[in-house]
Amino acid sequence: MSIPEVNLRPITDADRPFLRTLYGTTRAAEMALLPWPQAAIDAFLDQQFQAQHDHYQEQFAGADFFVIEAAGELIGRAYLHWADDHVQFIDMALLPAWCGRGIGSRLLGQWLARADADGLSAGLHVTPHNPALQLYQRCGFEVVGETGLSLKMRRAALTPAIRA
C-alpha cells in the first residue's frame, strides 16, 4: 500500500471545530470507560481541548501549528517547535481512519532528516501505551524521564551540522 500524499498548512480559526473533533478521537478510549452522559463527555472534552490548545499556544510561541490534509480533507494535526539546538515534537494526531498508513512515519522521518542536517537533537513526550512509542524507538528516541502520565524522549542529532 502506498503512503497517501499529504499537505501541511498553518492552522486557522476556521480549523478549530475539526481540531476539537480530532482531539476527541485521541481521548475516545478513555472516555468510553466513563459512566458519564454524552453531554458531560462533550463538555469535558471541550474544556480539555481549549486548555491544551491555549497551553500549546502560550508555551510554544513561535512554533509551527499545522493541520494535515489528504485527499482534499483534514485528517490530522502536527505541532513542532524548531529552536536553535533542538526540535520539539509537541503533538501529532491523525483521525483514526488515517492511522496505520505510514503518514506519521513519513512526516517524522522528514522532520528528523531536517533536524539531522541542521545538527539538532529532537524531543517529545508520549504516553507509555501509545502505539507511536515503537515508532519513536525505531527512530532512535530514548526515554530520558517521566513526567506524570508521559515519557520524555530524546534523540541526538545523527549528523551534526558544521557551523562557521
Q: Give the whole-angstrom CA distance, residue 17 versus residue 30.
A: 21
| C-alpha cell, 155 | 534523540
Task: Quote the pLDDT of residue 1.
Answer: 64
pTM summary value: 0.91
With a cut of 60, say whether residue 164 has pLDDT above it. Answer: no
The fourth-level CATH superfamily of domain 7-155 is Gcn5-related N-acetyltransferase (GNAT) (3.40.630.30)
Beta bridge partners of 86: 121
pLDDT band of residue 3 (cuts 50, 70, 90) is confident
pLDDT one-digit tens code per residue, 122-135? 999 999 988 899 99
Domain boundaries, the chain: 7-155
Is residue 151 a contact partner of residue 126, using CB atoms and an 8 Å limit? yes
pLDDT one-digit tens code per residue, 59-92? 999 999 999 999 999 999 999 999 999 999 999 9
For Cα atoms 2, 6, 121, give the angle at the middle one, nearest 5 degrees: 100
Q: Sheet holding 86-94: strands in order across?
A: 7-10, 64-70, 73-82, 86-94, 121-126, 150-155, 142-147
Task: Quote the pLDDT of residue 21.
Answer: 98
